[in-house]
Structure 1
């Protein structure tokens, strides 16, 4: 009897074991991560211009008097503090001028004391009617002339004293020496640029715009900026300044781009690329890895607010090197899976992450 029961018991046992294994595999199924991106303006619909990160304020520094440079205290690229000495002129000439003016002040004071005594004496004599009124008036005029002369010489002394201080060029505020055009022994004129200071604070991107189509650019026009050090990230910006005249050598117009995305990790001298939208409507684009096809119809996997995948048909444009324009089927606020799309299926639950493997909360970004 056991001989006939054993063949019947084995299939039943195997079925129970297989059923238990199936339940165990289902229990161990986890939600897989999926790298997601949002559609961006198509590259071919954007004009790009190379640029350089600059400080928003770059004052040219110069001596207020002329002379021979005796000391240069900073180098190009060096960080400086406000009121820090940058260079000095030979102080001998201004020092001699200050001493000469000081001697003139002493002489004017002595002359004033003399004419004051003469005026007082003539006033006493006039009260006794020993001198005429005209003689007293002459003494009074000499006194007033001496007083005015003293005021003039004191003003000249103040100017000479200030010029002695102008022999030292100081930084007006914190920043970095962006350019230096002076050496020790060089004779400079008053107002001649010797340093360019890139002040601390806001950073901008300086670009050159071609004269053809220059009329389509305007102050306040939104742009996007890509730093060479961070090629996968773009920062929002706008045109802050447009040069009214073309450069005489390059025949291009200088433009300054201000960042509008808050604090941007841009350092002085970094290379950047500015993207400006071309005229007309701008299609969106997604990475090539986000697109797949079935029976000749292209589609992408769109992730909804519940982290569920939905197959979304799209109409594509001409394929680019890294991306492809999406003419129909997606919106700017959509999120699509950018990698591993061939192993996904409709209705699958995923865990959205960005390119840095950080979890993306799509519900909070709706």
Structure 2
């Protein structure tokens, strides 16, 4: 009986040793079909229209706003506001100037008084000079006459300076546009109490505009100063604008690590408005014909050469689909893609998502 039990145990052990281990399930991956690109490709960018020149027009004195120009529009009269065209030197607002006119009148009267006193002192000084020459007056009397004349002369200079300041303050009650352009914003109303340096208007020159966008450091070489780019806007889809790169930021934004690029575009009809979004394509890269392009995510490091690159190419092993590691020679980066100089042909399926986790020859299943 004991012998029979031992035999049964041996049979069970032998059967267990010959049982096949469970097969590993294929690894799900996403693939990309390698293809050739056109002769040139470029990065798409979005850019914002900014005025070529923008000025905050501020008051230089204080007072209540008593006048804002009127414009006729849509059959009615309204005050000057955002979007209106103005010329350089045009009046934008006036402050109540009554007190400033009074100061000018007072200062002018002081000048007249000082000049009269100077004329009298001048006569006294000339008379004293003649008398002193004949020893008819003493030296102290002569010195006193000369001093009175000098004081009167200084008083004239001082009162004229006060008059100049009063007249300048009176002129400053009128706010003028410093340039020809459009009103972006009006910040005052009739009756507003303004102080010196208070901004009344924001005026911009949009006969030319600056279109600003940002690029990473890898793309800086494709937008050098003086290069020409083409731009479009969705509001005017049939118009292609040409602009020249006029500014390249010398440093990256500390937060986003990208560089600001400014493109100057002529805007004679004022069709481009401040704040519009424009699209453009730069980084035009010429790709030799028949060169394959794949996503950057396909690349993995070579196992025996960390500086080299490889990709996983799908091959069929009977009914099983396997990912075979193949060394490739990459070329230039084009956006999120890369040109493959050697190692791939058009039409081959290359693993994208999941490539970094695969082993050479591993069974895979393609997921959409």
TM-score (norm 1): 0.55
Question: Which residue number corresponds to residue 198 of structure 1?
Answer: 204
Equivalent residue in structure 2 for 1:104, among 84, 94, 110: 110
Q: 1:89-133 CA distances to partner (integer Å, 9 max, x unpaired)? A: 121332232222122212212221232232133223223312123
Give the Cα separation in 2 of the matches to 1:182 and 1:244.
38
Matched, 1:134 2:134: no
Task: Go from structure 1 to structure 2 and tell me whether the alpha carbon gap of 1:233 and 1:128 turns closer, same or farther (over 3 Å shift).
Answer: closer
Shift of 1:87: 0.7
Question: Which residue number corresponds to residue 36 of structure 1?
Answer: none
Q: 1:126-169 CA distances to partner (integer Å, 9 max, x unpaired)? A: 23312123321221122122112202211221221122111111
Give the Cα separation in 2 of the matches to 1:51 and 1:206.
5
Residues 152-171 of structure 1: matches in 2 within 5 Å? 152-171=158-177
RMSD of aligned alpha carbons: 3.6
Question: Which residue number corresponds to residue 272 of structure 2?
Answer: 267
Greater CA drift, 241-250 or 182-191: 241-250
Residues 59-98 of structure 1: matches in 2 within 5 Å? 59-73=55-69, 74-98=80-104
Shift of 1:199: 2.9
Aligned partners of 2:128 and 2:142 also within 8 Å: yes
Structure number with higher helix proportion: 1
Q: 1:3-38 CA distances to partner (integer Å, 9 max, x unpaired)? A: xxxxxxxxxxxxxxxxxxxxxxxxxxxxxxxxxxxx
Residues 278-317 of structure 1: matches in 2 within 5 Å? 278=283, 281=286
Matched, 1:240 2:246: yes
Unaligned 5+ runs, structure 1 = 1-38, 285-326, 328-366
Greater C-alpha radius of gyration: 2
Shift of 1:213: 6.0
Matched, 1:230 2:226: no
Task: Go from structure 1 to structure 2 and tell me whether the alpha carbon gap of 1:280 and 1:250 turns closer, same or farther (over 3 Å shift).
Answer: closer
Structure number with higher strand proportion: 2
Aligned partners of 2:180 and 2:205 also within 8 Å: yes
Q: Secondary structure at the match of 2:264?
A: strand
Question: Which residue number corresponds to residue 113 of structure 1?
Answer: 119
Shift of 1:228: 2.1
Give the Cα separation in 2 of the matches to 1:67 and 1:283.
70
Question: Which residue number corresponds to residue 295 of structure 2?
Answer: none
Unaligned 5+ runs, structure 2 = 1-37, 70-79, 290-339, 341-368
Matched, 1:58 2:64: no
Give the Cα separation in 1 of the matches to 2:157 and 2:166.
14
Equivalent residue in structure 1 for 2:128, among 107, 122, 133: 122
Aligned partners of 1:228 and 1:270 also within 8 Å: no
Give the Cα separation in 2 of the matches to 1:248 and 1:276.
25
Aligned partners of 2:103 and 2:166 also within 8 Å: yes
Question: Which residue number corresponds to residue 43 of structure 2?
Answer: 46
Give the Cα separation in 2 of the matches to 1:273 and 1:66.
41
Aligned partners of 2:217 and 2:258 also within 8 Å: no
TM-score (norm 2): 0.55
